[in-house]
Amino acid sequence: MQVKCSLCGKADEISKIHKDYAKLAKNKDAPYFCEQCSHRVKYQARETQNPPKPM
């Protein structure tokens, strides 16, 4: 199945063993995030939870 990342627009080909395949096959409007964007979002969320460093 050909899917497009919701953040960067990168087109990916996913197979039936992909973790999001069932969700995307059932609902064509479900958001899909590529591996790179998924890691980026997780990293940014973790960094915003850290207390600010003193200057």
In tens, the pLDDT along 13-29 reads 999 998 889 999 999 88
Q: Is 19 within the bounds of a domain?
A: yes
Q: Is 9 within the bounds of a domain?
A: yes
CA distances from 31 to 23, 50, 53, 54 (A): 9, 27, 34, 38
Enclosing domain of residue 24: 2-49
Q: What number of helices (H) and strands (E) belong to the chain?
A: 2, 2
Q: Is 20 within the bounds of a domain?
A: yes
Across the strands, what pairs with 13? Answer: 2
pTM of this structure: 0.74
- Domain count across the chain: 1
Q: Is 54 within the bounds of a domain?
A: no
Q: Is 26 within the bounds of a domain?
A: yes
Banded pLDDT at 41 (limits 50, 70, 90): very high
Q: Is 18 within the bounds of a domain?
A: yes
d(CA 48, CA 25): 33
Question: Closest Cα partner for 20 from 7, 8, 9, 4?
Answer: 4
